[in-house]
Amino acid sequence: MDELASLAFENAPIGLIVTHERVIRISNLRFAEMFGYRTADLEGRSLSQLYPSCEEFLRIGELGREKMLGTGRYSDERIMRKRDGTLFWCRVRGQSLTPDEPFHQAIWSFADLSATRPVTNMTQRERQVATLMTEGKTSKEIARDLGISPRTVDVHRARLMDKFNARNSLELIAHLSGIPL
């Protein structure tokens, strides 16, 4: 990397990483700070350590691979985990350099959304339902994606409404999306 490109990468106002097969090869300062690490602590480490659970790492990986095939692009907003175990909402954008093998080599950006989107104490399944709700998916679509019944999705939605003191689904999505009411 030439000096100017290196300066831009290192000092970008968002977290940036380059990965190989979902292992961090290089990260910038903002990315390391966002997750509570030093850049040297992250290089050569799996992204799995930044997810709330191994199951979520695997599930999001499967979804990401499907979305990236062909276009090489991916984006979502999800809950991630800092070094100290704190969970936070994060906007993730990715670009594969090898679209036919999306995770072989990719560039990712991460933006911390915790200032506008607080995380309450949610179960893993509630986090999954919340993430898919913020993508605009219906209960039937969420059920299909998670392999559960639409009624079970509605139960999780009701629990989330209680946790966020939301009166209806629109208000819940506003809370989950960080939109002021």
145 and 60 share one domain = no
132 and 95 share one domain = no
Indicate whether 8 belongs to any domain: yes
72 and 133 share one domain = no
CATH of the domain at 60: 3.30.450.20
Q: Quick one: pLDDT at residue 181? A: 64
14 and 88 share one domain = yes
pLDDT per residue, tens digit, the chain (181 aa), is 589 989 999 999 999 999 999 999 999 999 999 999 999 999 999 999 999 999 899 989 998 999 999 899 999 888 899 999 998 989 999 999 998 999 999 999 999 998 877 777 788 899 889 888 888 899 999 999 999 999 999 999 999 999 888 899 888 888 877 676 6
Q: Quick one: pLDDT at residue 154? A: 93
> At which of 84, 112, 140 does a domain end?
112
Cα separation of 121 and 126, whole Å? 9
62 and 86 share one domain = yes
107 and 131 share one domain = no
Indicate whether 119 belongs to any domain: no
14 and 39 share one domain = yes
Cα separation of 23 and 106, whole Å? 10
Of 181, 169, 36, 179, residue with least CA distance to 116: 179
Q: Quick one: pLDDT at residue 28? A: 97
Q: Quick one: pLDDT at residue 165? A: 87
Q: Quick one: pLDDT at residue 180? A: 67
Q: Quick one: pLDDT at residue 172? A: 87
Total tally of structural domains belonging to the chain: 2
Bridge-based pairing state of the strands 15-20 and 73-81? unpaired
- Strand ranges for the chain from DSSP E: 15-20, 23-27, 73-81, 87-96, 106-112
Q: Quick one: pLDDT at residue 116? A: 79
Exposure string over 83-97, b if 16+ CB within 10 A, otherwise e: eeeebbbbbbebbbe
103 and 35 share one domain = yes
99 and 14 share one domain = yes
Indicate whether 102 belongs to any domain: yes
CATH of the domain at 145: 1.10.10.10
Domain limits at 18? 3-112
26 and 66 share one domain = yes
**pTM (two decimals):** 0.76
Of 146, 168, 141, residue with least CA distance to 157: 168
Q: Quick one: pLDDT at residue 159? A: 92
106 and 128 share one domain = no
107 and 128 share one domain = no
